[in-house]
Amino acid sequence: MAIWLPLESNPEVMNKFLHHMGVPDDWNMFDIYGLGEQELAMVPLPCASVIMLFPFNDAYENRRNEEELLIKSKGQKVSEDLYYIKQYVGNACGTIALLHSVANNRDKIELKEGLLKRFLDEGENLSPSDRGHLLEKNEEMSNAHKEVAIDGQSAAPDPADAVPYHFVAFVCKDNSLYELDGRKFEPINHGPSNPDSILVDTVKVIQEKFIAPESGNIHFTLLAMSNCSEEI
């Protein structure tokens, strides 16, 4: 399996990556400084997605397996319009979270001609697994990821070293909130949501699903993909 350098949870690094690939300059990643009402009010609107970086451990992996068994037994509704990518590249979760964020908001984000638009168009009618393998083989995407991964504030680790952190994206599609994690068996539908409430709805899920099981002792970062143009 190919292994990339891990992407830093840094808006400046992520914005450089997104804009290089064809995302318009008025769409950017922003830090979310807290889960309270005042902190969330600081996030520019409209917000198209939320990306979380969190530490995963054995307890989380056990909960993930239990969740999979429960969903497989009960079933869930997943929008046919959801663009989901399986992860087959080590440390690619940051790039995949960004891809999920843009791909599921192309009705709002008018991509310029470039690497990202070509990749998403090529994978439009593929299965999530085939999209994952498409990313695995895409040297342009790999090089673009590497360029920004070594440009962060912290020293880039050895790609072979285990990185105990993972990125996931939350997006709203067809009035449902989805958790998109390429390591899981499929997207996770967290219930009703809409573009105006995605930020609050996502925070509620994070508090219940990720923070509460760890007794509140979880180190994580949150970022929002938002439009910061003066016209909005």
pLDDT in tens, 160-171: 555 678 999 999
On the question of pLDDT at 232 being above 50, the answer is no
User: Where are the alpha helices (H) located in 22-155, listed in sequence order?
Assistant: 37-41, 58-74, 93-103, 115-123, 128-137, 139-149
Element (H, E) at 27: strand 27-32
Domains annotated for the chain, with CATH where assigned, are 11-227 (3.40.532.10)
Integer CA distances (angstroms), 67 to 46, 71, 135, in order? 31, 6, 26
On the question of pLDDT at 84 being above 70, the answer is yes
Sheet holding 176-180, edge to edge: 27-32, 221-227, 47-55, 165-173, 176-180, 188-192
Is 100 an annotated catalytic residue?
Answer: no
CA distance 133 to 47: 29
For the segment 131-148, the average pLDDT, to the nearest whole number, is 94
Q: What is the mean pLDDT of the chain?
A: 91
Tell whether omega for the bond before 46 is within 30 degrees of 0, i.e. cis.
yes
Length of the chain: 232
CA distance 102 to 96: 10
For the segment 84-102, the average pLDDT, to the nearest whole number, is 96
Q: Are 106 and 121 in contact (CB under 8 A)?
A: no
Which of 47, 100, 145, 166 is catalytic? The answer is: 166
SS3 percent helix, strand, coil of the chain, rounded to 5, is: 40, 20, 40
Write down the pLDDT at residue 73: 95
On the question of pLDDT at 150 being above 90, the answer is no
Write down the pLDDT at residue 230: 47
CA distance 18 to 100: 12
Which of 47, 93, 100, 172 is catalytic? The answer is: 93
Q: 59 vs 34, which has greater pLDDT?
A: 34
On the question of pLDDT at 157 being above 80, the answer is no
Is 145 an annotated catalytic residue?
Answer: no
pTM of the model: 0.93
